[in-house]
Structure 1
Amino acid sequence: MEPITKVLFRKYKQGGDILALFPEIPADMNPYHCQSFQHVGQHGAADFQHCIHTLTVPASPAEYADLKAELEGRGYNLQVIQRASFKDHEARKAELKRMQG
C-alpha cells in the first residue's frame, strides 16, 4: 500500500474549480511551494499560503469527490485534512533539503 499523503481540497473563489494541495510535498526548489493537483493541468507548484488565504475557500466532500477519486485512481492513499500544521510545512522543507543533497 502507498504511504499516506495528506491533502487539502479547496475551491477557487473565481470559477469554482477544485484544487488539491499536498502540504508535505515540495513542488520545486521554493520552500513555500507545495505540490498541487487539478483535473485540468494535473500536477503543479502552488504557493500554499497564497492559495489558502487569497484564492480559495474550503471545498465540501461533495465538491471534491471527483478529484479525490481521480487521485486515488492514480495510486494516492489520501488523508483529507482541513488545515495544515506547522509540522506539515516543516516536513515539506525537510524533504526539499533531502532532495538538494
Structure 2
Amino acid sequence: MKKDKSRVEDVQWGDEQLREYLNFNTYDGTDRDFHCLYRAYTRMDAAAFEAFVELFKSENRNIHATNLEGKTLAQIVATHAKGGDYLAVLG
C-alpha cells in the first residue's frame, strides 16, 4: 500500500453501499456476476460480504459465475489462507 494511502477498517456497510456492488461492469469479457462478487470479496469484511451475498442471491444473480480462467470465486477463495469465513458464505 502506498504511504499516502491508509487502510479503511470498520466500515459500516448499509443497504445502499451493498447495492452499489451489484452494478459494476466489466470491460474485458469477465462475467459481470463474477466481477461484482470478486470486488465485494476484496473490499468487504466477512460480515458485510455475507450481507452482500444474501442481496446478490435475492436478485437472482449467479453465485457460481466464473472468471476468464473458468474459476468460481469459491474456488479462488479456497486457496486463500484467511478465506474460510468468506468460503462458508459462498457455500
Q: Given the two structures, how large is their TM-score scaled by the length of structure 1?
A: 0.28
Q: Which has the higher helix share?
A: 2
More strand by share: 1
Q: TM-score, normalized by length of structure 2?
A: 0.30
Higher relative contact order (CA 8 A, sep 6+): 1
